[in-house]
Amino acid sequence: MRKIQTPAILFAALLAACSSVPPTVAPVSTAPAPLPAPTPVAQQCAPCTACPVCPAVQPAPAAAPAFTRSYVAAAWADLPGWRDDDVAAAWPAFLQSCRGVRSKPQGPGWKRVCELAAAADGKPGFDVRQFFEQHLQPWAVTNGDGASSGLVTGYYEPLLRGSRQRSKAYAQPVRGVPDDLLTIDLSAVFPELKDKRVRGRLEGNKVLPYWSRAEIEARGDSLRSKNLLYVDDAIELFFLQVQGSGRVQLPDGGMVRLNYADQNGHPYQSIGRVLVERGELKLEEASMQGIQAWARANPARLDALLNSNPSYVFFREVANGDGGPLGALGVPLTAERSIAVDPRAVPLGSPVFLATTRPNSTTPMNRLVMAQDTGGAIKGAVRADFFWGFGKAAGEQAGRMKQSGRVWVLLPPELAPK
């Protein structure tokens, strides 16, 4: 992959293929993103693919993040269920956040607390709850309109079956980043677009948008990319792209781990919405599970449905460790203790107290989690994507999760809003 800086003419030429800078990893929700009206399925792809939204041709100055305007000082007693949560279960994830935040702009603000945490870790009688209460301050996060409630969805790490060799049983290629995919940095021309990238390809002396999903599939092996693996199910591969990371079990029992590597720059379109608009699924049926059931019943029509979403995710193979997939913070995610957030509102690495309910229920789910990931559809101050973990059971929970919730960010005095 080549990364170049470009004059303004390329900005216009590639407008259709621009997207936000991808984070390190790509887990995302299988539940709908907030829209004015209910949506049938995830309005998002992997966090890294950012459900790209192109800036205007004449970009307006970007608004500065307004973290302080959305924070309200709170007391520990304001956090529902704080005394009941097993906060010690979040301690390993907090130590991971300390490791990941070191290189971030907010790193110096966490230095003192993280050093105290490392010194206290493992000591007999250590009280995790007391540590947080002594060294951190809760701040209620509110939306720009003052609302304290927002959407909480879920995501997970899927398991697929695949092979190193293509066969009739394993025919669906998992593609690596193509050699001809360009990532173009616009910040040299438009500094206010420092978090934007354009993806494209060279054709002669022209830079054009990169191939869409349908075009990639039509080009097949002529695409200039390495096929990392071959899996047995097209719809499962699609949802691997939606989640952004996953594992593939090989016929010999071996396991391969995949992480998001790049994306073709085209915007994500919800195939669940397409099915609802066609009248083939009811709104309440258009969950991940509902779409999978439709795919099983309509194999001859599946390719056309998938191609209605022009976005395409490329992967890289990573070490198959015991922990979760790497999040945008650069540390492994912890099942049921990590969330994806909008980093413009909640700084990555911060502990967050999440007050919500379990999927499709009114049963409270109040717990301490760590902001360790981002997502393309995770936009807004009171917005979280809850990481359920690995495998089928986690996927079932994630696919049903579309709950209302509130969040409090826990900060040391050094990072208190001014």
**What are the pLDDT digits (tens) for 323-345?**
899 899 999 999 999 999 999 89
DSSP letter for each residue of 60-124: PPPPPP-TGGGEEE--GGGSTTTTTS-GGGGHHHHHHHHHHHTTSTTHHHHHHHHHHHHHHTT-T
**What are the pLDDT digits (tens) for 244-271?**
899 999 999 999 999 989 999 998 888 9
**What are the pLDDT digits (tens) for 228-246?**
999 999 999 999 998 889 9
Q: Kindly tell me if the per-residue pLDDT of 126 is higher than 90.
A: yes
Q: Quote the pLDDT of residue 89.
A: 97
Q: Kindly tell me if the per-residue pLDDT of 412 is higher than 60.
A: yes
Closest CA to 82 of 406, 339, 347: 406
Average pLDDT over all residues of the chain? 83
Q: Kindly tell me if the per-residue pLDDT of 136 is higher than 70.
A: yes
- Residue 17 banded pLDDT, cuts 50, 70, 90: very low
Which range is least confidently modeled, 38-52, 78-92, 366-380? 38-52
In this prediction, residues 79-84 reach a mean pLDDT of 97
Higher-scoring residue by pLDDT: 27, 95: 95
* 3-state SS record for 224-289: CCCEEEEECCHHHHHHHHHHCEEEEECCCCCEEEEEEEEECCCCCCCHHHHHHHCCCCCHHHCCHH
* Domain count within the chain: 1
- Residue 195 banded pLDDT, cuts 50, 70, 90: low
Q: Quote the pLDDT of residue 322.
A: 74
In this prediction, residues 67-75 reach a mean pLDDT of 75
Q: Quote the pLDDT of residue 31.
A: 38
Q: Quote the pLDDT of residue 323.
A: 83
Q: What is the CATH number of the domain that holds 6?
A: 2.40.40.10
Q: Kindly tell me if the per-residue pLDDT of 146 is higher than 70.
A: yes
Q: Quote the pLDDT of residue 379.
A: 86
Q: Kindly tell me if the per-residue pLDDT of 83 is higher than 80.
A: yes
Q: How far apart are CA 105 and CA 100, in angstroms?
A: 11
Q: Quote the pLDDT of residue 20.
A: 37
Classified as helix, coil or strand, 1 is: coil
The region that residue 44 occupies, defined by phi over 0 for left and psi between -120 and 50 for alpha, beta otherwise, is: beta
Q: How far apart are CA 277 and CA 280, in angstroms?
A: 8
User: Which range marks the domain in which residue 274 is found?
Assistant: 2-415
**What are the pLDDT digits (tens) for 147-181?**
899 999 999 999 999 999 999 999 999 999 999 99
Which range is least confidently modeled, 68-82, 103-117, 163-177, 385-399? 68-82
Q: How far apart are CA 153 and CA 327, in angstroms?
A: 16
In this prediction, residues 207-235 reach a mean pLDDT of 94
pLDDT above 90 covers a percentage of the chain that reads: 63
